[in-house]
């Protein structure tokens, strides 16, 4: 499914050759339900599946022969059901070898890493060891009562009983962060900044909720009493029901928003700037009662607003954030964004139809402080958007789609081919300070390469690029556009 090894380094070299200076990544946490990076087992940990096995063989933690017979996995998509058990077996073997033989400087580095990251690592490693013990399919609310409620005696017994497994999960994090650090340093050497992603919510089945239930709206059994989502809108008649537990912002505020500040600090230690997901939810969030099957019956509840962001800025300094200000955006939301000087986002795919934000998404209306996208991970690819009917993810009629396509042709002066390059050129020619496009759009791929279809629980997050697709010709074309528009 791809990793932090040599192919990732070659990708950064491609970006350098193409004149690109920013790489935006999805959340890098350990994925859980549906393999979604927005449903992770921890808001602080890294995904062990991104660890390069090649690097482990170079360190002598895996025999080179273990990679001589890699199964025939698909080239253009991640087959998680097959890859995960195969790769986890090798990762566990490397971890056990490390704990059996590591000594000297590398052992000291590991112990220092565990000490430095203990505020989240101790709970995360125990959480994962307990998940393994109880069967990976079980949410923590189904565990034995003692560890479910984090009673001192049960926790101490679990740490003793699962010491070896805890050490394995700590090794995975040690190796992930070492490999990410090396890749990030290569990005810097190539003049490429990295934009990370902080989801507003965390998964219910996570070390974060289990370790700090007081921060979340849970009932006596630990189940969410209210769940997150967004209301019905032009794109969905029933809204989106995400299922994440809601925050108890009063409790977080009473502690000076310490958990959130630590979360932002941890991410900023890994990246250069952050896309802050669902920025609208910090001003007011859509709360849906537990048990609902759609988001229709939710209500808006005031969030922490500027107070939280001011606390984070006081603790961390000027925040290099991009506000994901999509959806139902009110003047109050924009006032907070402008107060802190965070650039907002514009999506060109949404510019030509009946989306209420459409006029703001048209390049001639951009302010300079804008991050403009052809599309996002939640959109179809630009080619897919142009060639498909658009049904299945929107309330648009056939007539709506016809008018949208006609306006797109007029606006971009299309000659009937290479819609993806027309989109990329339009954004590069705009005054927007930053332009981002999914790699699928640079490659001109269709719906088969879509990353995510919101509202669906399976079949997403699977696309991956073949290294051979990143050709010198593609790099030259991107560099030419970048230089033409002085980006």
Enzyme catalytic residues: 277, 324, 378
Nearest Cα to Cα of residue 120 among 225, 206, 238: 206
**Cα→Cα distances 377→38, 43, 59, Å:** 12, 19, 35
Helix residue ranges, H only, 43-162: 53-58, 80-101, 104-116, 118-134, 145-148, 152-161
Q: Is 150 helix (H, G, I), strand (E, B) or coil?
A: coil
Residue 279: both structure tokens together: 């920025």
- Give backbone dihedrals phi and psi of 27, rounded to 5 degrees, phi first: -50, 140
Separation of alpha carbons 345 and 217, rounded Å: 30
CA distance 371 to 131: 39
Q: How far apart are CA 227 and CA 296, in angstroms?
A: 12
Beta strands in 219-266 (DSSP E): 226-230, 240-245
DSSP summary character for residue 344: E
The single-letter DSSP state of residue 290 is T
| Contact call for residues 266 and 314 (beta carbons, < 8 A) | no
Cβ-based burial of 133 (10 A; exposed 0-12, middle 13-18, buried ≥19): middle
């Amino acid at each position: 499914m791809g990793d932090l090894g040599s192919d990732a380094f070659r990708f950064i070299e491609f970006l350098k050759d193409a004149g690109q200076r920013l790489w935006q990544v999805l959340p890098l946490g350990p994925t859980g339900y549906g393999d979604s990076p927005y449903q992770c087992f921890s808001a602080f940990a890294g995904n062990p599946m991104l660890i390069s096995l090649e690097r482990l063989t170079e360190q002598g933690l895996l025999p080179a022969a273990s990679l001589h017979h890699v199964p025939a996995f698909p080239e253009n998509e991640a087959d998680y059901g097959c890859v995960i058990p195969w790769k986890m077996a090798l990762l566990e073997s490397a971890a056990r070898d490390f704990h059996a033989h590591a000594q000297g400087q590398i052992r000291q580095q590991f112990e220092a890493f565990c000490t430095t990251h203990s505020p989240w690592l101790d709970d995360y490693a125990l959480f994962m060891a307990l998940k393994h013990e109880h069967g990976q399919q079980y949410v923590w609310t189904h565990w034995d009562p003692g560890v479910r409620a984090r009673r001192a005696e049960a926790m101490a017994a679990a740490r003793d009983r699962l010491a070896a497994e805890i050490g394995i999960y700590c090794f995975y994090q040690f190796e992930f962060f070492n490999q990410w650090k090396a890749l990030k340093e290569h990005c810097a050497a190539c003049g490429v900044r990295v934009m990370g992603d902080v989801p507003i919510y965390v998964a219910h089945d996570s070390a974060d909720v289990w370790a700090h239930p007081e921060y979340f709206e849970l009932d006596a059994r630990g189940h969410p009493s209210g769940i997150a989502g967004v209301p019905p809108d032009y794109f969905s008649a029933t809204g989106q029901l995400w299922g994440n537990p809601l925050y108890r912002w009063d409790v977080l505020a009473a502690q000076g928003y310490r958990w959130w500040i630590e979360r932002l600090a941890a991410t900023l230690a890994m990246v250069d700037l952050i896309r802050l997901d669902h920025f609208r939810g910090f001003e007011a969030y859509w709360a849906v009662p537990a048990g609902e099957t759609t988001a229709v019956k939710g209500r808006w509840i005031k969030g922490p607003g500027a107070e939280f962001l001011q606390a984070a800025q006081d603790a961390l300094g000027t925040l290099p954030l991009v506000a994901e200000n999509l959806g139902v955006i009110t003047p109050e939301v924009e006032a907070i964004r402008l107060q802190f000087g965070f650039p907002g986002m514009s999506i060109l795919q949404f510019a030509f139809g009946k989306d209420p934000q459409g006029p703001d998404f048209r390049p001639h209306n951009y302010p300079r402080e804008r991050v403009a996208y052809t599309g996002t991970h939640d959109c179809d690819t630009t080619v897919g958007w142009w060639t498909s009917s658009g049904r299945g993810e929107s309330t648009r009629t056939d007539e709506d789609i016809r008018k949208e396509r006609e306006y797109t042709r007029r606006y971009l002066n299309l000659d009937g081919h290479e819609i993806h390059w027309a989109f990329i050129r339009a954004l590069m020619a705009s005054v927007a300070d930053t332009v981002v496009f999914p790699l699928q759009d640079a490659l001109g791929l269709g719906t088969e390469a879509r990353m995510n279809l919101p509202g669906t629980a399976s079949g997403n997050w699977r696309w991956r690029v073949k290294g051979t697709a990143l050709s010198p010709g593609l790099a030259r074309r991107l560099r030419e556009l970048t230089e033409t528009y002085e980006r």
